[in-house]
Amino acid sequence: MNSNIKKVFAAAQNDDSTCLICNEKHKIYSCSKLLAADPQQRYHMIKAAGCCVNCFGFKHQRKNCPSSSRCRKCQKDHHTLLHMERAPVLTSSHSSSHENISSTNNSHSTPQASSSSSSANDRYTAPTPPTVKIKETKQTMTAVTAHSNVRKTVLLSTVTFLVRAADSSWHLTRALFDSGSDTNFISFRLASLLKLNFIDVTYSVSGIEDQTVSIKHKVETVIKSNDLKFLKPVDCYILSKITDVLPSSRVAVDKQTIPNDKVLADPNFDLPLPIDMLVGADVFYEALLNETIRLPQGLIMTSTAFGWILGGLITTQLEEKIFSR
């Protein structure tokens, strides 16, 4: 493989009997939290866990997956649980090339149940999502719509830290923490604001479906935690845009469940705000500490040198709404 082409995703290593979605002792493909999510959310959960999207295994990527199993719906190299009938627009860290997944015929959907002798890729059928029922009567001309009272959202981990400008001043920056990326990125806007020296490079990164994007410049800078205890020089490749605002909309989190003595890496983790950097695995694992807390809504808090980060699948109870006219 060309040494100038870097993968944006990296596989995690873990005990094969421990589910990286919920940390219980079972296979990932039998995880109730995974099966309860829709295919797009499952995709984000699998990528966030650092697993192969084809076999859900560890220590390798899809391109090097040793499994011969393929999606039963489209025969592509992704797990059947990740097959989607419609083309979602992914704006997370796992789409650095900013391309949509084209998937009317070659995206992801759910598998059919099979016998116990079948492979893990064919074993489970995900639950059917709730449908919207509309009832009409000609006499009253009334339409009644009942909405599901449960919303599931995948929250990606964000951090704030200080980044050094060309004049050695420090600027507060909001970044996406991506343990699946082997590269650091910075937006053109922030690199220009900091007046960093643009270094010419010939570089490509690959993301979802191995789509690549060419990069022409990088910068060298230093990042520092807000408490000044963590400092690390980093090379960052310049992208016109890292991602859209994260999260995409405000996340309903009961902040009273967050321990008061924990300093958050991003106090505004639940608000849709701009992202100007993506820090990859080299920063992630060096800053990672060894304490985690599971919150009632499903989020997981993890201690890092930047403060506590929050991420994972969050389940929100909504009020049932009925509209009539």
* Distance separating alpha carbons of residues 296 and 315, to the nearest angstrom: 9
Could you tell me which residues come within 8 angstroms of residue 168 by beta carbon, excluding any fewer than 6 positions away?
Answer: none
Are the C-beta atoms of 196 and 221 separated by less than 8 Å?
yes
Q: Over the stretch 45-84, which tens digit does the pLDDT of each residue have?
A: 888 777 888 888 877 778 888 888 888 888 888 888 888 8
Residues linked to residue 322 through DSSP beta bridges, in sequence order: 146
Tokens found for residue 244:
């859209």
pLDDT of residue 162: 97
pLDDT of residue 225: 96
pLDDT of residue 209: 62
DSSP 264: B
Domains of the chain (ranges; CATH) run: 8-129 (no CATH), 155-317 (2.40.70.10)
* Distance separating alpha carbons of residues 286 and 207, to the nearest angstrom: 23
**Distances in whole angstroms, Cα of residue 306 to Cα of each of 178, 188, 293:** 14, 24, 16
pLDDT of residue 79: 86
Residues linked to residue 261 through DSSP beta bridges, in sequence order: none
pLDDT of residue 151: 66
How many C-beta atoms surround the C-beta of residue 158 within 10 A? 24
Ranges of H-type helices in the chain: 32-36, 39-48, 188-193, 281-287
pLDDT tier for residue 150 given thresholds of 50, 70 and 90: low
Q: Over the stretch 270-292, which tens digit does the pLDDT of each residue have?
A: 999 999 999 999 999 999 998 99
Whether the CA torsion 272, 178, 194, 3 is positive or negative: it is: negative
Q: Over the stretch 72-131, which tens digit does the pLDDT of each residue have?
A: 888 888 888 888 864 444 443 443 333 333 333 444 443 443 333 334 444 444 455 454
- Length of the chain as a residue count: 325
pLDDT of residue 46: 83
Listed range (193-197, 224-228, 254-258, 286-290) with the worst mean pLDDT: 254-258
Phi-psi region of 162 (alpha: psi -120 to 50; beta: other; left: phi over 0): beta
How many C-beta atoms surround the C-beta of residue 59 within 10 A? 13
**What is the overall mean pLDDT for the chain?**
76
pLDDT of residue 305: 96
Predicted TM-score of the model (pTM): 0.54
How many C-beta atoms surround the C-beta of residue 281 within 10 A? 20
Phi-psi region of 241 (alpha: psi -120 to 50; beta: other; left: phi over 0): beta
